[in-house]
Structure 1
Amino acid sequence: MLKEKNIYKDELPVSVVVANIEEYPIHFHDDMEVVYVLEGSVVLRNGYYTYTLKQGDIFILNDREMHSFANTGEKNMVMMLQLDLAYFSKYYDNLRNNFFVTDMEDDSDESLEILRNILARIMMEILQKGYGYEHKVIESTHNLIACLMSDFQYFVMEDGKFVNEAKNKGNKILAGRLARITDYMYDNYSRKLTLNEIANREHLSIYYLSHVIKEATGLSFQDLLSFIRVEESEKLLLGTNKKIGAIAEETGFSAVRYYIKHFETWYGMHPLEYRKLFTGKVISRETHAQYTRSTPAEIEEAIRQQVKGVYTDYINKQKAKPIIVDVNIHDDYMGYRSKSLELKELMERDNMKPAAGPYELLKSLGETVVASGKNYIITTASKYPGPLSNLSILVYNFSEAVEADLKNTTSKETTLDIIKKYDEEIEFLVRCSGLSGEFKISRYKTFRDKVISDLEDVIRPHGTFSRREEIISQWTSMPVIEFGEFTSSDTLSLRTTLKGFSAELLLVDKK
C-alpha cells in the first residue's frame, strides 16, 4: 500500500500536518507536498537520494514521488503541506509531473525567504481560522505555486542529486517549455519515446531541443528519460510482486539489462537488492507513520523564531481579545425572558439611523430574541416548544468608549467624527451548544466606509455631490453577501471579524 491518500477538510484544497516525526515509511501521493523544517532536523529519503533537512530547509515532493522520513536523533518539527492538484491544475498548465527543486547553495536566498514567509502565513491562517481564512489560505497557496514556477523549476545534477540552478531564474519561456516537455515524458515514458517526437511537438530542431533540455536540467534527453523510467519503476518494485523483466517492459526499457544498468546508476544497487532491502519499509496497514502532532502554541513559537515578520503581523491583528458569545439552546431558547436590549437602545437613537441598516433588517424579521449583549442580538423565527430550526445573529463592532461617546451626542457630525476615528478590529465567536445537523448560512456584512458614506449623505446638502462622488458612494454602500453550508455535531460555531464600526447579520437555517 504505497499510495497514501490525502484528505482535504473544510473545503480547502490544502492539507497540513505539523509534527515531530519519528518514522514515516515509504509512500507517495498523487498530490504535491511541501516540506518545511521549523525545528531540528529530519532525514528525507526521496527516491534514490537521501537528504538531511535542517531547520529552515524547504523541500518539494512532486506528485507521485516516493519518499520517507526518519528521525535524526534530535527533536524536530516538520510542516507537511499537501496541495490538491485536481484543484490547482485548473489554474496552472502542466502542474502535474513538474520538477520543483529548492536545494540551493545559499540558505538565505531571497526566493527561499519568500517561500518561508508564504508557508508561515498559510500555517498562521489555518491556526487562527479567522473569518474568511479559507480564501486567504487559497490565495497564499496560489502565491506559493507562482513562486515555485518562477524560481524553482531550474535544476542541474551535482554530486548525484538535483540542485537549483539560479542562472535561468525568471526565464518564463524556458520554464514553460521545460514543464511541457517533462509532463509529456511522464505521460509517455512507458513506450518508445524519441527526441524527434518532442522536437516536432515543440516546433524546435532536435539539436536545439537537446541543448534546451541539457541547459535546463543538466541531463541529456536520454538520461532524463531513463531517470523518469527508473523512478517510476520503484513503485512497481516495492508495491507489486512483478518480476523485473515485466517491470522493465512496463516502464519502457527495451531490455532488462538496460533497466538494471540505469537502475544501478541512480540507486547504486541491483533492483532485486533494492526490493529486498526496502519492501518491509513501505507504509501499510502493519507499518504506520509514527509522529506526534505539534500543538498550536508550539507551532506559533517556531514560526516566531523562523519568520519573525509574519508572526508579528498576526500578533498585531490578534491584540484585541475576541468577543465570545455562548448560547445554550436548552436554556436560552426554551427559557429566555425578555429584558432590555442594549444594542436596540443605541441603534434606535436618531444620530445612529445611518448606521442601523443591519439592525433594521433584523428588526424587520419580527423574531423572538434568544440572547443579547452590548454588541449582539440573536433571534429565531422558531416557536417554542417546537424545535429550533433557525437563528438570526447580528453583531456590531464598537468599543465601550465609542458606545459611551455615541450615546452622549445627538449630533450627526460628531457621530461621523467618532466613527471615523474608531479603527479597531474585533473577532466574534458565536457558539450555540445543543444545535446539531446540516445548516445553510447567509451572511450580510457592512463596513465602516458604508456607515461613513451614509452619514455624509445625511449631513451634506443634496445636489452638492458630483456624479463621480455619487458612483463612489454607491460602491462604498454595497454590502458583502456570502452563502455557505456546514454541519454541526453538537455545537454550532460561527466566526466573524469586523474592523472599525461595522456589522454583520448572519441567517442560519437548518436544511
Structure 2
Amino acid sequence: MRREHIKYMENIPINIELLDIREYPIHWHEAIEILMILKGSIEATVESDTYRLIENEVEIINLDEAHSLSSNEPNLVLMLHIDPNFFQKYYEDIRNIYFYTDCAFEGEPQVGDNYEIFKKYLSTILCEAVQKGEDYDVYIRETLVELLYLLINEFHYLIYENRDLKDNAEQLQRYHRIAKYIFNNYNNKISLQDIAKKEFLSAQYLSNEIKYALGISFQDFVNLTRAEESVKLLLDTDMSISEISEEVGFSHTRYYNKHFKRHYKMTPLQYRKKYKMDEEKFNKAKQITSYDLGEALKYISSYLENYERYNYEEKISKINVDVYKNEGEFFHTYKDAIILPKASAILEKEIQEFLITIQKEIDFDYGILRDLFSKEIGIYPEGNINFRYAKKIIDLILSVNLRPDIIFGFEEFTPARYKEIITNFLNYFQEEYGTYELSKWRYSIEKDAPEDFKKIFYGILS
C-alpha cells in the first residue's frame, strides 16, 4: 500500500522527523506534510509537477497528494505531519483546501514576512517538541492554530494562482466552491453549464472567470484532477487501465491516455510499469536516514531568538512604548498576541468567524495590526483624515476580547503628514474609548522606517 499511516506523537496532533532523504518513492497520506530544508537540497515531485527545494525553503504537501522525494547529495529535512482532524475543529473545510508555496528554482524565491512567520511557527513547534517543557503540548496546539490561520490567509491555492483574489472574499469563496465541487465530483459527469446554473452566472462568463482564477480552463482542470487521482489506482490496485479510466470519470480510455500523458509525459500503463511495486520493494527502495530532532535546533535558532521558552529561559522582547507614561511598561510575549491579516480584510465575515473561534479556544490578549494607515482604510497622503473605517476595525478587535497591537506604517506619507495622522489618531480614539483603554493598547513602528519617522513616532508616543 502506498497510502502511509502517520503515527502522531503522544499528546499532540503532529509527527516531526529530521531526515536525510536520498530516495522516498511515490506515496500519500491523510496528513498535511510540511518540509523545511535545513541543509542541502531535494527534488520533490508532487502529483504531476517536480520542484527542486533548496536550503531554508519550505514546501507544503496536501492531504492525499501523491508525492516522491529524492536527492543525490547529503541533506537535512525537517518533516512535519499534521493531523487534519485537529485543523478541522477550526476550519471545517480543511479537506477541500490546498496550500501552495513558491519555489526559488522556478524563479519565485520565498521572500516576505509570510515566509518568515511560517518558519518561526515551524521552529516554535520543533522547539516545544524537543524541549518538552511545562505545557509544551498546549503551546504546540496554539502555534498550530496560528499556523493554520497563516496558511489560509497567505498560502491558499487560489490566492497563489491569483493574488488579486486575496482582497476579494466573495470571489474567493465562489471559486473555492467551484473547485471543491470538482474535487468531490471529478469521477462523475460534470459540466460548466451545471456549475454556472448553481452560481447564477452565464456559462461563458464563468468559463472566463475560472481560467482567470485557476490559471487553466474548466475542462483542463477537471481532466487534470482526474489524471492525478488515477495515480493512486494505478499504483495501489490491480484494476485495468479501462476500469481506472471509467472510475475517475473519463468517457473513454483514449481520453484518459491523452490527458494523463499531457501531464505525466507517459501513458498510464507506462507509469504503472515504472513505479508500481509491492510493499517489500517499496520499503527497500526508501533510502532515508533519521537523526535526533535536537540536532535541528542549531539550524533554526535564528527564528527562536525572541521566543521566551527557548532553552527554558524566561525571555521577553519589549516592542512598544507607554503612551501616557503612568501605566508602566508593556511587553510583547510570544503567546499573548495573534498576527491579524491586512487591516482592510478584518471585517470580512470569514475572518470574523475565525477570530471568534480562536479566541474561544486560546483567548489571546492582543491582535497585531498592520496597514491601518492606508488608502484602503481611508487615510490618504493628502486631504481630510477619516478614522471611521479604522474605528470599525478596532471595534471588531475589541468585540472578540482582543486589544490592538498596532504597527504603524509610514509609506507614501511625508514626515509632517505622518505626525499629523498619529496625533489625530490618538486624539480621536482617546475621545472614543478614554485614556485608560488607550493606554492598554500597544504601538510600534516598522523596523525599516527612516530615522526621521522614528523620531516623530517616539516623540509623540513618549
TM-based fold match above 0.5:
yes
Compared with structure 1, are the counterparts of its residues 227 and 16 closer, same or farther at alpha carbon in structure 2 (3 Å cutoff)? same
Q: Secondary structure at the match of 2:96?
A: coil
Q: Tell me the CA shift for residue 31 of structure 1.
A: 1.9
Alignment root-mean-square deviation, CA: 2.8
Letter paired with 1:11: N
Q: Name the residue aligned to 1:81.
A: 80
Q: Name the residue aligned to 1:134.
A: 137
Q: Tell me the CA shift for residue 164 of structure 1.
A: 5.0
The number of residue pairs the alignment matches comes to 315
Given that residues 118 and 140 in structure 1 are in contact (C-alpha distance below 8 angstroms), is that contact kept between their aligned partners in structure 2?
Answer: yes
Q: Name the residue aligned to 1:245.
A: 242
Compared with structure 1, are the counterparts of its residues 98 and 284 closer, same or farther at alpha carbon in structure 2 (3 Å cutoff)? farther
- 1:107 paired to 2:104: no
Q: Which moved more, 1:37-46 or 1:105-114?
A: 105-114
Q: Name the residue aligned to 2:42.
A: 42
Given that residues 300 and 311 in structure 1 are in contact (C-alpha distance below 8 angstroms), is that contact kept between their aligned partners in structure 2?
Answer: no
The equivalent position to 1:318 in structure 2, one of 312, 326, 343, is 312
Compared with structure 1, are the counterparts of its residues 132 and 164 closer, same or farther at alpha carbon in structure 2 (3 Å cutoff)? farther
Q: Name the residue aligned to 2:7.
A: 7
Report Cα offsets for 1:87-118 as digits up to 9, x if no partner. 32232132113221102513212222221111
Q: Secondary structure at the match of 2:52?
A: strand
Q: Name the residue aligned to 2:67.
A: 67
Q: Name the residue aligned to 1:33.
A: 33
Q: Name the residue aligned to 1:330.
A: none
Structure 1: gaps spanning 5 or more residues: 157-162, 321-511
Q: Secondary structure at the match of 1:118?
A: helix
Given that residues 24 and 289 in structure 1 are in contact (C-alpha distance below 8 angstroms), is that contact kept between their aligned partners in structure 2?
Answer: yes
The equivalent position to 1:216 in structure 2, one of 213, 217, 234, is 213
Compared with structure 1, are the counterparts of its residues 65 and 316 closer, same or farther at alpha carbon in structure 2 (3 Å cutoff)? closer
Structure 2: gaps spanning 5 or more residues: 315-462
Within 5 Å, give how 1:217-296 maps onto structure 2.
217-280=214-277, 286-287=283-284, 289-296=286-293
Report Cα offsets for 1:184-210 as digits up to 9, x if no partner. 212111110112222333344333432
Given that residues 155 and 165 in structure 1 are in contact (C-alpha distance below 8 angstroms), is that contact kept between their aligned partners in structure 2?
Answer: yes
CA distance in 1, matches of 2:6, 2:171: 32
Compared with structure 1, are the counterparts of its residues 281 and 70 closer, same or farther at alpha carbon in structure 2 (3 Å cutoff)? farther
Report Cα offsets for 1:224-249 as digits up to 9, x if no partner. 11011000001111111211111110
Letter paired with 1:260: N
Compared with structure 1, are the counterparts of its residues 48 and 66 closer, same or farther at alpha carbon in structure 2 (3 Å cutoff)? same
Q: Name the residue aligned to 1:172.
A: 169
Q: Name the residue aligned to 2:153.
A: 150
CA distance in 2, matches of 1:189, 1:244: 17
Identity of aligned residues (%): 36
Report Cα offsets for 1:406-441 as digits up to 9, x if no partner. xxxxxxxxxxxxxxxxxxxxxxxxxxxxxxxxxxxx
Q: Name the residue aligned to 1:121.
A: 124
Q: Secondary structure at the match of 1:52?
A: strand
CA distance in 2, matches of 1:101, 1:283: 32
Q: Secondary structure at the match of 2:19?
A: strand
Report Cα offsets for 1:312-361 as digits up to 9, x if no partner. 525766247xxxxxxxxxxxxxxxxxxxxxxxxxxxxxxxxxxxxxxxxx
Q: Name the residue aligned to 2:22.
A: 22
CA distance in 2, matches of 1:171, 1:287: 49
Q: By percentage of residues, which structure has more strand?
A: 1
Q: Name the residue aligned to 2:178.
A: 181
Q: Tell me the CA shift for residue 3 of structure 1.
A: 0.3
Q: Tell me the CA shift for residue 83 of structure 1.
A: 1.6
Given that residues 37 and 78 in structure 1 are in contact (C-alpha distance below 8 angstroms), is that contact kept between their aligned partners in structure 2?
Answer: yes
Given that residues 124 and 314 in structure 1 are in contact (C-alpha distance below 8 angstroms), is that contact kept between their aligned partners in structure 2?
Answer: no
Given that residues 25 and 282 in structure 2 are in contact (C-alpha distance below 8 angstroms), is that contact kept between their aligned partners in structure 1?
Answer: no
